[in-house]
Structure 1
Amino acid sequence: MRRRSFLAAGVTAAFAGCVQLPREAPPSSEELVRDALETRIGLTDLQGLRTVTVEEPSATVERTERILQRPPAERRLEVIQSTDPAVPMGTVSVRSRTEMWEFEPARGRVTNVSHPNRFIADRTRIVLESLLEEYDLEYEDTDTVGDRTAHVLHATPTADEEMSRSISVLVGDTQYVLPLATDEDVDFEEATVTRTFWIDDEHRYPVKERNVVSVDDDLLHGITFALDELAIDEGVDDDAFTYQPPDGVELVERGIEPVGIYDSLEEAATVVPYDLPEPDVPEPYELDRVTVIERGEHTIATSWYVDPEFTERELYVAVEEEQRFNEDVLEEVDLDGHEAYVRDGSLESVFWTCGELSYEVTSPMDDEPILEVASSIGCPAARRRTFELPARSAWSSVASAGQLSSAPSRSERSL
């Protein structure tokens, strides 16, 4: 990690006539954000105490949570102090690549969500990238956050956006929907969002962020995150990202439990009724896991390939026994003489069918050669194999009337 230090504004003269040295110029705002982005991309793990302060005209609540991360997928939050009744002390959130646990002590309930086939974005990285691309940055000064010296930056959107009743703001690794007004007398169209960031001088890492929605300097909603006792790349045990529910609590299970998650194509092939492709993927991608799920009478096998140096960079190859893409809303392309269809957007995908099987290659990175990966698979002579899948544990799900709950969801939000 790079560390810069400022020269004192002046040097005490030991002799008469000694010339005062000028103060070293502070780093530019863009340099600080680029350094923070580099730190985030390069770090292996992070630990600290995070204080979350939520301000509204009628009240202010605060909580302190212990946070452990191995970006982008693994994270553990434990609320150790709180004046927020929605997120009381004892709330726990644990997430891995394939599932999430939420413990709500006020309800005596644990929710387990299986998400074996889900991209998990590093939202802290996305925030930092958005600051460079979508905001004008202004350097203010240095400040102290916890026991650290930090540089203070103000961020103003470069483009005016039409206001509505709420604003969606990406704060750390969570999307926040901030209400602009609950009072009809408030002119919410005049609302502004002010964002301020504190970047640690030693590690060049964001250690504080404040977002304020206001009208004519009257605060409507504010949220502040501040990290203390920051530790980067000091090691986090694997056990931190597993969870065992306490005795006597209600367990709610949601999502699709996989038949299994396998380390190799050979292992996964023993539980699927068709041959699995072995695509040519770009370097340095390598196979990370193969997830197998059942949807009704159909089996879906998804092979996940990950860049080991940048684990957020993922792409997958999925094989299933029914066509689930709509040709009418996709662009048709030629795939070595076969009809294929592409999707652009937050996910880049190519879909095609071969015999009784449907194939998909998808990546969230728009610069990955997914058509070349699809071409390396082509239309194999897929021979269906008939056999009984191994028995697996019973799976029950509880339908949700809405979100998991507002309390645990808020406990996930971070720098």
Structure 2
Amino acid sequence: MRVSAPDHVPLRVAAALFLTVVLAGCVAVPDAGLSQDSLEDQLNDTEPPDELSATVEISETIDGETSQRTETVWLRADGTSRIETTTNGSEQVIVSDGTDRYIHDLERDAIRSYERDPNAKSLLEGLSAQPDRYLDAYDVTALEEVQFDGQDAYRVEFEPPANETIERSVGVQVAQTEYVFPLETTEADPDERSADRVELWLEQETLFPVKHTIAGDGIELTTTYRNLSINGGLADDLFEPPTAADNDTDETEFVFPTIDQYDTVADAEAAAPFAVAEPSADALPDAVSFDGASSYEFHDKDRRQVSLFYRSEAGESVAVTTSDGPRAFATDGDSVSVGETTGTLEATEQGTELQWSCDGLYYSVFVSDAVGDAEDAIVVGESLGFEC
């Protein structure tokens, strides 16, 4: 099965948390006052904004630790956008002209560009569609007219279904991408976090969601739009591709890999130009079992890899990867012996990764913290049986 690349860069950086949750469920109608039916009728009759500008405040509180940041956005429904943000201490300007997206790292004066998925919704379209998704997904427990940042608004409070866990997109994000979900429980923390309260504030004229809050199990995430201007007229030059001050600075175009998925190891190996390493069953943690394979072709690096995945029902995982080129993971870890050769072992936020090379191929074993540790990664790696 061919998997299309998402419309965001596969490089994890901090992101604004636009809380788009698509779930199954029914919606309760409040007994009195402003009704859900009338709100749904307004949504059906209201045209979403064609463009907006705003200052976006993002606040994340996780287990008592709070982080905050502010971004400035200019968005159009046609897919053109401009986002000025600071990510990991680096100032960035992210511009989309509707066809391509450009990320300008101001500190390094470096620009990266890549092509947008022409079938993907624009960021503004995705945000405007959120109220419908919430109303379809959750029980409404409160609905009232309020003042928000000097504007008439509706505050809607939802109760998520029982035991609904808070998750974040696994895909990697660059600033405010077009598809961002709430915070995930990392593989390093096997305890699932549940959402018990979701609140949404809607600007009354266009019903644009000017504020989201989701809370539960030690987490509270809030995104707030201040200084909101809707359909006020945005200058076209805001969306012109950025240029580096240093004319010698290279502009790098990002090329998405081709990804194919397979139900068996044999099928994955048949499609690969090399032999795929497979661990012995008794070397794997008891909790996991084979759960498919994926091949990746990185066109800009002339490299291919095949990853075998072993997972448990609780989401614990082991991954074994064979590649015909070096991978930029676990390269700064500790030196360890893997059979007759030497590899590197590095702890990550999600688990432990072991990597080594043999006869022109590169191998890695990832073991999530929930299912094993460094010793388990070495046992799985040595079971591949290579003599280098």
**Larger Rg, first or second structure (1 or 2):** 1
TM-score normalized by structure 2? Answer: 0.49
Normalized against structure 1, the TM-score is what?
A: 0.46
